[in-house]
Amino acid sequence: MAHRILVIAGHDSSGRAGLHADREAARSAGAMCIGIVTAWTWQSGDRVHAVDPRPADEWSEEARILIRSGVDAVKVGLLPGAEAVRAIGGVLDTALEAGLPCVVDPVLGASSGEAFLDAEGIEALHAAVLCRPVVLTPNLPEAVALGGREVPGDLPGPVVRRELGEELLRAGLSGLVLKGGHGDEDPVEDLVLEPGREPRIHRHPRVPGAGIRGSGCRHATRLAVGLAAGMDLAAAASEAAEYVMARIRENA
């Protein structure tokens, strides 16, 4: 039977990211994406024009009902503001009580630069998400923002990346996948951290081209599928990265 992945995320009207990308990623692995919309975003190919959040009490109760009805993993994407972030804490508790793997992609902003979470939203992430035993999948800029520190240069090097990741992990996460790929690094390095285990690094060659929208959405959803199937975090993260690279090559 296909694994059922509950995805709590935003709707992208351009069809390039958000729940559209999540469904594509789940289908590619033979899984079913059960989607809950947190916000309707009005997007074109180059930018976000508007964000229309759904009431958090509505979608969070919807999520709890679906979790209790039976799913195999939970993936969280766009949370449009501090209220939504605070609401996800209770949803995650319901999922964790059911023994489900939970993956949270901390979407702080769009690829085109528009912010989805302000300082209050980031503070809420620490209180509602980072203190819970879930897997977090930040990219490098998101890790820097969540870490709240000044980093010399444009992006952190390997030592600072590990320090940032370990700081975030200590808050209470069950795992962290710190994704490389920003800047011009080649090979790209993804850092996988879990409490009590040595850090693991997944290296893969940079794929030339402009990339794709929704790469973080796809990565986190494929990671959730892997965890639902019983893969360990490093193996699931490696498989998710390979899938995203293949999609970028198709788009090149």
The number of angstroms, rounded, from the C-alpha of 42 to the middle of its chain's C-alpha atoms is 20
pLDDT for 207 beyond 90: no
pLDDT for 211 beyond 70: no
Per-residue model confidence (pLDDT) at position 218: 96
- Long-range contacts: 138-145, Cβ < 8 Å, 24+? 138/105, 138/106, 138/168, 138/176, 138/178, 138/179, 139/178, 139/179, 139/181, 139/182, 139/216, 140/178, 140/179, 140/180, 140/181, 140/182, 140/183, 141/108, 141/182, 142/106, 142/108, 143/168, 143/178, 145/108
Q: Which domains does the chain show, CATH number per domain? A: 4-251 (3.40.1190.20)
Confidence band of 114 (pLDDT split at 50, 70, 90): confident
Per-residue model confidence (pLDDT) at position 186: 76
Confidence band of 174 (pLDDT split at 50, 70, 90): very high
How far CA 123 is from CA of 131, 142, 147, 180, 232, in Å, comes to 12, 13, 11, 24, 29
Mean pLDDT of 213-230: 96
Confidence band of 15 (pLDDT split at 50, 70, 90): confident
Residue pair 164/156 in contact (Cβ under 8 Å)? The answer is yes
Structural tokens at position 64: 């709890």
Q: What are the tens digits of pLDDT across the range 232-250?
A: 999 999 999 999 999 988 8
Confidence band of 76 (pLDDT split at 50, 70, 90): very high
Per-residue model confidence (pLDDT) at position 30: 98
Q: Which of 144, 241, 153 is nearest to 189 (CA)?
A: 241
pLDDT for 3 beyond 70: yes
Per-residue model confidence (pLDDT) at position 101: 99
β-strand pairing of 175-178 with 135-136: parallel
Q: What share of the chain is helix, strand, coil (3-state, %, to 5)?
A: 40, 20, 35
Distance CA 116, CA 217 (A): 15
Mean pLDDT of 109-134: 91
Distance CA 181, CA 111 (A): 13
